[in-house]
Amino acid sequence: MIRSEQERQRIASMEALRERGLDPYPAAAFDITHRTASLKASFGEGQKVRMAGRLMNRRIMGKASFGELKDAEGVFQLYFNRDELCPGEDKGLYNDVFKKLLDRGDFIGIEGETFMTQVGEPSVKVTALTVLSKAIRPLPSVKVDEDGTVHDAFNDPELRYRMRYVDLVVNPHVKATFEARSKIIKTIRDTFDAEGWMEVDTPVLQSIPGGAAARPFTTHHNALDIPLYLRIANELYLKRLIVGGFDGVYEFSRNFRNEGMDRTHNPEFTVMELYVAYKDYHWMMETTENLFGHIAQAVHGSTEVPLGSHVINFAPPYARVTMRDAILEHAGVDIDGLDEAGLRAACESLGIDTDDSMGRGKLIDELFGEKCEHHYIQPTFIMDYPTDMSPLTKAHRDKPGYTERFELMINGTEVANAYSELNDPLDQRARFEAQLQLSQRGDDEAMFIDHDFLRALEYGMPPTSGIGVGIDRLVMMMTNQTSIQEVLFFPQMRPEAFERSAGHADFSALGVPQAWEQHLVAAGFSTPADLMGAKPTQVHQRLNGYRKKNKLDIPALSLEEVTAWSQNAESPAS
RNA sequence: GACCUGGUAGCUCAGCCGGUUAGAGCAUCUCACUUUUAAUGAGAGGGUCCUGGGUUCGAGUCCCAGCCGGGUCACCA
């Protein structure tokens, strides 16, 4: 493969370390006594410490040097003094290993003693140095000046997402976002566990992709010879567990939907679903607002969270607005008195495109999405959705045509979706059949019928309230990010095209000398076919040009040799 | 899927109306330097200008196609 100049230098340094008897990748554990940030927090002079991390940002000044040790917590300044690091006659560890053979980004282990420099920077005077892992590629050289301005930031989104490991090393704010994500999930888990609800695992591979309406990813099980789908939701499985007798179950469910990708959608995403028996959606609203208040406190130490140009106040209680009132207020339409034709006319008059596959529920959803959704910046529960857009939700206790469902809107986006769960098995069967009709009408996202789920309901499910919280979107809101890619370690990307190098035998079969094989790919001939596709004179010139440019210490090729390769290809040696 | 926009050194970016050997800062290498912190001073090396065609005496620059991103919109219970 093609190595940059800096990479070649680092590989040479690695080999030089070996020649000195220093293993650049030692196997032994390196036990530490301190980490950077906590040492800084409890700093006192004269402490003996053993630490490990990446060597960053070296400043060499002759017989003394400064550098930074970067570990999982942060950075801490190291002071290397030639005569303290090498008290004897041999100054090689400082002059050669530290100054010449180590590079920015290498992992080292050090022993030393804490002290304060003249300018007041807590530091460790290093008395022993161990190479722990040599880095072959140079990290981007991000620097921050006195004013906090970042110079040469590593900020190309493509490179950052494709090489998140580099992003995390050089961009502390990126690391902080993912630490917040972890804290959010832990807060939810701790809160639910304290209530006695049980974390469960349900199938990711499902033969019926139920619980939501979306296009699934399809795969195939060879032994059973059946199609299987990656789950689009886990809802129906958690309800089966409520039937089975658990009072409260929850799961952080990685869901997969084979749809578009953008700032708020990734093909795989995480939803936390919770189901609690003997509760209704009013109870769930209180539970949700209390939970979100706790999460904001855990992440920010406050219920006020900055988000773009707004400050979101997560302190309960949140406003509760019915779907009907929301549309009445922002679109001036009273959905109560309108049938499907009336709604379609109302949508058209407001400039909302409709088509014949849209039923009453879908039309109301369009009205809300177009005219209302973006108004709800502060956390707001939108309640009581029409029956035909909520096939898994219990009918409203006193409003015919509506269900006991709410969505939590924050910053104009849906963050959670919850119901008083439908537990009437005959009603559920009728709702599924209505979905089937929608699907026949052309709505390709209407739900499949899950007969085993219906059977479970027929055995009896207690009244239950359930919620799904979009964890990725919640993390975006809690960390002031506008893109889902910023809260996923490895967002989906089109696969990167790496140059495929041919196997060793492929080129040698043509009679290419061993010394040349490793250079063919670098010179632009990835495969034997590439080599044969070019004229021998062209190959000859390109390879010898490459040899000269890279000062290769191997004999130049003659045109006869190169011509012979093509002949070998045409009539392979027996 | 449509439109807009970008791809030049390890990183961040300049590069004019198409014209000599493609530049800068940081990073790297060499030398100097024992409390610096965007260390400093002197010098050097480093390029498939995303790929492939085309126009031209001449293309990083113009045109076409493609690849890979980003943005806006559409789609998305």
- A28: enclosing H helix or E strand: none
pTM: 0.85
> Closest nucleotide (CA of A119 to C1')?
B35
- When mean pLDDT is compared across A239-243, A306-310, A465-469, the lowest value belongs to A306-310
Q: Looking at residue A516, what is its pLDDT? A: 61
Q: How many helices (H) and strands (E) does chain A have?
A: 20, 20
Does the pLDDT at position A422 exceed 50? yes
Residue A483 CB lies within 7 Å of the nucleic strand B: yes
Per DSSP, A391 falls in state T
Give A1-38 pLDDT, tens digit per residue. 678 888 999 999 999 999 999 999 999 999 999 999 99
Q: Looking at residue A556, what is its pLDDT? A: 63
Q: Looking at residue A499, what is its pLDDT? A: 52
In whole angstroms, what is the distance from residue A265 CA to residue A201 CA? 24
- Round and report the angstrom distance from CA (A64) to C1' (B36): 9
Does the pLDDT at position A555 exceed 80? no
For A343-404, strand residue ranges (E) read 380-383
Structure tokens at A169: 């090393």
Nearest amino-acid residue to B67, taking CA and C1'? A497
Q: Looking at residue A504, what is its pLDDT? A: 41
Does the pLDDT at position A278 exceed 90? yes
> Closest nucleotide (CA of A443 to C1')?
B77
Burial of A264 (0-12, 13-18, 19+ CB in 10 A): middle
Structure tokens at A302: 């406050």
pLDDT category at A443 given cuts 50, 70, 90 is low
Nearest amino-acid residue to B27, taking CA and C1'? A141
In whole angstroms, what is the distance from residue A503 CA to residue A505 CA? 6
Q: Looking at residue A384, what is its pLDDT? A: 93
Range from A2-16, A67-81, A502-516, A533-547 that averages highest in pLDDT: A67-81
Q: Looking at residue A513, what is its pLDDT? A: 64
- Round and report the angstrom distance from CA (A63) to C1' (B34): 5
SS3 of A170-194: the string is HCHHHHHHHHHHHHHHHHHHHHHHH
pLDDT category at A529 given cuts 50, 70, 90 is low
Q: Which residues pair with A129 in a beta bridge?
A: A110
| C-beta atoms surrounding A307 within 10 Å | 17
Residue A121 CB lies within 7 Å of the nucleic strand B: yes
* pLDDT over 70 percentage in chain A: 85
User: Which residue do the tokens 């919280």 mark?
Assistant: A469
pLDDT category at A573 given cuts 50, 70, 90 is very low
In whole angstroms, what is the distance from residue A376 CA to residue A383 CA? 13
What is the four-CA torsion angle of A373, A379, A384, A390, rounded to 10 degrees?
A: 70
> Average pLDDT, stretch A470-485?
93
Q: Looking at residue A470, what is its pLDDT? A: 94
Residues 291-350 of chain A with CB under 7 A from strand B are: none
Q: What is the mean pLDDT of chain A?
A: 87
Residue A122 CB lies within 7 Å of the nucleic strand B: no
> Closest nucleotide (CA of A212 to C1')?
B77
Q: Are A130 and A77 in contact (CB under 8 A)?
A: no
> Closest nucleotide (CA of A140 to C1')?
B11
User: Which residue do the tokens 């469902």 mark?
Assistant: A405
| C-beta atoms surrounding A417 within 10 Å | 22
- Round and report the angstrom distance from CA (A351) to C1' (B64): 39
- Round and report the angstrom distance from CA (A402) to C1' (B20): 78
Residue A523 CB lies within 7 Å of the nucleic strand B: no
Positions in chain B where some atom is under 7 Å from a protein CB:
1, 6, 9-13, 25-30, 32-40, 45-48, 67-77
- Round and report the angstrom distance from CA (A177) to C1' (B8): 32
- Round and report the angstrom distance from CA (A565) to C1' (B48): 25
Residue A138 CB lies within 7 Å of the nucleic strand B: yes
In whole angstroms, what is the distance from residue A290 CA to residue A467 CA? 14
- Round and report the angstrom distance from CA (A74) to C1' (B37): 15
> Closest nucleotide (CA of A100 to C1')?
B29
pLDDT category at A239 given cuts 50, 70, 90 is very high
- Round and report the angstrom distance from CA (A501) to C1' (B2): 38
Residue A518 or A363, more confident: A363
Residues 148-167 of chain A with CB under 7 A from strand B are: 149, 151-159, 161
In whole angstroms, what is the distance from residue A188 CA to residue A191 CA? 5
> Closest nucleotide (CA of A414 to C1')?
B77
Q: Looking at residue A98, what is its pLDDT? A: 95
Residue A413 CB lies within 7 Å of the nucleic strand B: no
User: Which residue do the tokens 């439908």 mark?
Assistant: A422
Mode of pairing for the β-strands spanning A413-420 and A205-206 = unpaired
Give A78-119 pLDDT, tens digit per residue. 999 999 999 988 999 999 999 999 999 999 999 999 999 999
Q: Looking at residue A371, what is its pLDDT? A: 86
Structure tokens at A10: 């680092």
Does the pLDDT at position A197 exceed 80? yes
> Closest nucleotide (CA of A121 to C1')?
B37
What is the four-CA torsion angle of A454, A459, A461, A467, rounded to 10 degrees?
A: -30
* pLDDT over 90 percentage in chain A: 61
> Which of A556, A547, A507, A518 lies closest to A2 in space, CA to CA?
A518
Helix (H, G, I), strand (E, B) or coil at A439: helix
Sign of CA dihedral A376, A378, A384, A390: positive
Contacts by A250-256, CB closer than 8 A, 24 or more apart: A250/A192, A250/A197, A250/A198, A250/A199, A250/A200, A250/A274, A250/A275, A251/A199, A251/A200, A251/A201, A251/A202, A252/A185, A252/A199, A252/A471, A253/A202, A254/A204, A255/A212, A255/A231, A256/A216, A256/A217, A256/A230, A256/A231, A256/A232
Count of alpha carbons within 13 angstroms of residue A223, beta-carbon side? 0
- Round and report the angstrom distance from CA (A159) to C1' (B20): 36
Helices (H), A410-490: 425-441, 451-458, 471-479
Give A351-386 pLDDT, tens digit per residue. 887 777 777 888 888 889 888 988 899 999 999 998
Q: Looking at residue A339, what is its pLDDT? A: 85
Nearest amino-acid residue to B71, taking CA and C1'? A263
Residue A515 CB lies within 7 Å of the nucleic strand B: no
- Round and report the angstrom distance from CA (A57) to C1' (B40): 15
Residue A157 or A396, more confident: A396
Range from A142-146, A191-195, A306-310 that averages highest in pLDDT: A191-195
| Distances from the Cα of A266 to the Cα of A255, A390, A467, A489, A490, angstroms | 10, 24, 21, 12, 10
Residue A215 or A86, more confident: A86
Residue A213 CB lies within 7 Å of the nucleic strand B: yes
> Closest nucleotide (CA of A116 to C1')?
B35
Give A145-157 pLDDT, tens digit per residue. 877 888 888 888 8
Q: Looking at residue A567, what is its pLDDT? A: 63
Does the pLDDT at position A52 exceed 70? yes
Does the pLDDT at position A510 exceed 50? yes
